Amino acid sequence: MSADTPSPLPAADARPLRYGNVAIVLHWLLAAMIVGSLGVGLYMTGLPFSPLRLKLYSWHKWAGVAILLLSALRLLWRLGHRPPALPARIMAAMPRWQVAGRRVSHSSMYLLFFAVPLFGWAYSSSLGVPVVWFGVLPLPDFVPVDKDFAEAVLKPLHKGSAYLLAAVTLLHVAAALKHHWIDRDGLLKRMWPAPRKESAGRS
């Protein structure tokens, strides 16, 4: 190939530019439940022993199980549906550390989506307080009752992983807002519901 011959362009990525409707719904539903559960968790721990505190603890556990199920559903959907490719202009504008940080933060969030509720479930089981989902469906205890182990190990793991999830979520939100308000590259719009005329036939 001579110096005057233009180099071949890379093959176009056939993936869509936006996320599908199912991925969008799962993303925002999971985000709302995680933020709500973190908020309830912070609030209820400061309450004195009371019927309200017991009720909030039950709601917190129910939300945790729902988050666990939604996370599994989202992961299964993700495995069967490749996410949209980042536009080349956005990739070209991102330093390598941002690209690497994006991958690490996404992987960390997926891991914590499962770790936080599982640690909470294990903590409750180890205390000898079974989780009864919505007060109807009793869930199995997958760790033996050991209150000392619950307080010394499982409680810090649940609390620490929850704080880590909150930190990674804040970082994720900050990055998304930077792309939207500072870079103005339209990245955030990929996760907004498409206009009706564009969403027809999408899933």
How high does pLDDT run on average in the chain?
86
Q: What is the dihedral of CA 59, 60, 61, 67, to 10 degrees?
A: 110
What mean pLDDT comes out for the span 168-184? 89
Task: Please tell me the predicted confidence (pLDDT) of residue 15.
Answer: 59
Q: Where are the domains of the chain?
A: 21-194
Q: Is the pLDDT of residue 7 over 50?
A: no
Q: Is the pLDDT of residue 146 over 70?
A: yes
- For residue 153, give the DSSP letter: I
Angle between helical axes of 96-126 and 51-80 (0-180°, round to 10): 130
